[in-house]
Amino acid sequence: MSNAGLDRRTRRRQETIEEILTAAIELMEAEGVASLSLSAVARQLGMQPPSLYQYFPSKMAIYDALFQRGAEFFRDARREAQAAAGTDDIRELDLIAVTAYTRWCLEHPVYSQLLFWRTIPGFEPSPEAYAPAQETLEDLRQHLQAGVDRGQLRPEAATDEGLALYTSITAGPVSQQLANEPDASFEEGRFVRLLPTVLDMFYQYYAPSGGRHDSSTSD
């Protein structure tokens, strides 16, 4: 077979994979993330289930591909928002990045459930699928380290503990929003409007001086 023929076959295979993943997202939006079935995806595309197995041998394989796809979309949305920000102020960049993260989550609730909440029993992303999420965490670590370097945060802010606290408190309003007002826009949501306050709490906790109560200091 010529290289041209091979390239056409590769392109067609990739197109079919994208069609399968798009159909899976549509079904999950309508029926729930954990209710996905290969037979339903095959019916959606007019395929026989054995044909679908040539692309994804199991339902978990589809979840894994969607996790990677969503993690890449999320990573890129955050990076693009910061690149277009037109500022190098750490606090402003923080709010811009968190706003982009929140908008993305509200606009893509299926991906959000896959990435940030364990809604599928037994599912664990493969190392390859998880790699874009690790890149996003590394981006965040570097951002917080820049805050440390500029004297806006204590060094602990850029540690694993600091990242865990940051991601926990910024994910909270998003989780509450999706759970309590799933149809509200970013502008209308009463939980996501707390994001600036949440970031202030993080910066106060890790302030270089005077921003955090030291429990070891006697009254």
CB atoms within 10 A of CB 28: 25
Does 53 share its domain with 78?
no
pLDDT per position as a tens digit, 50-105? 889 999 999 999 999 999 999 999 999 999 998 898 888 898 999 999 999 899 99
Does 72 share its domain with 53?
no
Whether residue 152 contacts residue 211, with contact meaning beta carbons closer than 8 Å, is answered with no
For position 162, which CATH number holds?
Answer: 1.10.357.10
CB atoms within 10 A of CB 78: 21
CB atoms within 10 A of CB 195: 22
**Cα–Cα distance between 70 and 73 in angstroms, integer?**
5
Q: Please tell me the predicted confidence (pLDDT) of residue 27.
A: 93
Whether residue 99 contacts residue 195, with contact meaning beta carbons closer than 8 Å, is answered with yes
Does 23 share its domain with 2?
yes
CA atoms within 13 A on the CB side of 64: 16
Mean pLDDT rounded to a whole number for the chain: 88
Does 36 share its domain with 124?
no
Q: How many domains does the chain have?
A: 2
Query: Band of the pLDDT at 214, cuts 50, 70, 90?
Result: very low
Whether residue 93 contacts residue 82, with contact meaning beta carbons closer than 8 Å, is answered with yes
Q: Please tell me the predicted confidence (pLDDT) of residue 211.
A: 47
Q: Looking at residues 141-161, what average pLDDT do you find? A: 95
For position 15, which CATH number holds?
Answer: 1.10.10.60
Does 205 share its domain with 146?
yes
Does 53 share its domain with 70?
no
Query: Band of the pLDDT at 5, cuts 50, 70, 90?
Result: low
Does 22 share its domain with 75?
no
Task: Could you list the beta-strand ranges (E) of the chain.
Answer: none
End of a domain among 40, 57, 74? 57
pLDDT per position as a tens digit, 171-201? 999 999 988 998 888 899 999 999 999 999 9
Cα angle, residue 130 at apex, residues 193 and 179 outer, rounded to 5°: 30
Does 51 share its domain with 111?
no
Does 67 share its domain with 10?
no
Q: Please tell me the predicted confidence (pLDDT) of residue 215.
A: 37
The DSSP symbol for 37 reads -
Does 16 share its domain with 95?
no
CA proximity to 169, closest of 202, 193, 145: 202
For the chain, give the percent of residues with pLDDT over 90: 63
- Domain of residue 22: give its range: 1-57
Q: Please tell me the predicted confidence (pLDDT) of residue 121.
A: 86
